[in-house]
Amino acid sequence: MMTILRKPVLLLAVILFMAGCTAVTEIGTQIGTGSGLISEQEGESLKRVSNAAIKSFEDITPEQEYYIGRAVAASILQTYPVLENDAANEYLNLLGQTLAMASDRPETFGGYHFLLLDSDEINAFAAPGGLVLVTRGMVACCRNEDELAAVLAHEIGHVQNKDGLRAIKKSRWTSLAAIGLEEGMRNLGNEDLQAVAEQFSGCIDDIAQTLVVNGYARSQEVEADASAVLILGNVGYNPAALAGMLGEMDQRWDPKGPGFARTHPSPSDRLGKVQALLTGTAETAQPAVRAARFQGAVGGI
């Protein structure tokens, strides 16, 4: 028995030792850099790696995404007035949060927050990080809570897929790299700060231009609809509500109109793709309580 056990125990000891070494190496590197044990040359290469790290939207940290999202929302709110209706906004946030929690990305740096816009235009915007703005005109395309859930789930899909960040032009990263962010080891000097703020402003313009004027690629809209179908199903709303909402939107659709008409594929175009995902589920009658609270909160806006 003893001989049987000895080998595995030895093997285990080796494994545990190796595991320990990995941790020790990591800590060692930290101590090394902190105490100046790593050479200047190594330090330089470390900086270069760090410097090269912002080269695409994927390198944006959640905190940076948060500041970008705030600025995008602030920029949209410059054009669209807010619908100051506490009950309606509270309802929108309850609905939106239940959906966000069932998405692939329930956690963002600053969390998901939803706000109604006082505009007849059919439109909705998802700023990076989870600030979602929905117009009165868009809510009017929703005949029940499930259909409004479909609108919010589509916007959450854009946040989850980081579509806003993808709209940032590649040249912004090149320009940011050119500012020489290795200086970032200490606080930014005034000149660097201005230069970074200028690029920040450029990123916001790229995203706002996409959200308000050009729209995302058709494939990104199809993807957001597919995310919405999944999210609705996860929560327990009927995914067919997305098709129902698109049908209703199609009735109100003015292809030459502002807002969604400019930035989105036509509802009938999206409807075809969505129906392929639904596999035969039809919209069902709303429970009385759900229908009543929907009417009470947003029916009259």
Between 29 and 281, name the residue whose CB sits nearer to another protein.
29
Between 26 and 254, name the residue whose CB sits nearer to another protein.
26
The answer to the question of residue 285 lying near another protein (CB under 8 A) is: no
For the chain, how far is it from start to end, CA to CA, in angstroms? 80
Closest C-alpha to 123, from 108, 107, 137, 111 = 137
Question: In this chain, which of 108, 119, 135, 227 binds another protein, going by CB under 8 A?
Answer: 108
The answer to the question of residue 168 lying near another protein (CB under 8 A) is: no
Min dist CB 230 to another protein, Å, is: 13
Min dist CB 51 to another protein, Å, is: 8
Q: Binding to another protein (CB under 8 A): which residues in 74-103?
A: 74-75, 77-78, 82, 89-90, 93-98, 101
Q: Binding to another protein (CB under 8 A): which residues in 177-216?
A: 181, 184-188, 193-194, 196-197, 200-201, 203-204
Min dist CB 158 to another protein, Å, is: 15
The answer to the question of residue 10 lying near another protein (CB under 8 A) is: no
**Bridge partner residues of 127 (DSSP):** 131
- Non-local CB neighbours of 101 within 8 Å, separated by 6+ positions: none
The answer to the question of residue 66 lying near another protein (CB under 8 A) is: yes
Select from 59-67, 135-143, 240-248, 261-269 the region that touches another protein (CB under 8 A): 59-67
The answer to the question of residue 290 lying near another protein (CB under 8 A) is: yes
Q: What's the CA gap between 239 and 228, in Å, rounded? A: 8
Q: Which x/- pattern over 126-165 shows residues binding another protein (rule: CB under 8 A)?
A: -----x-------------x--------------------
Measured between alpha carbons, how far is residue 178 from residues 18, 69, 82, 183, 221 in Å? 41, 24, 39, 11, 33
Question: In this chain, which of 114, 125, 216, 260 binds another protein, going by CB under 8 A?
Answer: 114
The answer to the question of residue 107 lying near another protein (CB under 8 A) is: yes
The answer to the question of residue 124 lying near another protein (CB under 8 A) is: no
Q: Which x/- pattern over 19-38 shows residues binding another protein (rule: CB under 8 A)?
A: xx-xx--x--xxx-xx----
The answer to the question of residue 299 lying near another protein (CB under 8 A) is: no
**What residue spans of the chain are helical by DSSP H?**
2-34, 40-52, 62-79, 86-101, 136-139, 145-160, 163-166, 170-178, 190-209, 218-235, 240-252, 260-263, 267-278, 288-294
CB atoms within 10 A of CB 80: 19
Instruction: Tell me whether residue 137 is exposed, middle or buried, using C-beta atoms within 10 angstroms of its C-beta: 0 to 12, 13 to 18, 19 or more.
Output: buried
Min dist CB 120 to another protein, Å, is: 19
| 143 touches 246 (CB < 8 A) | no
Q: Which x/- pattern over 214-243 shows residues binding another protein (rule: CB under 8 A)?
A: ---------------------xxx------
Sheet containing 113-117: which strands, arranged edge to edge? 113-117, 131-135, 124-127
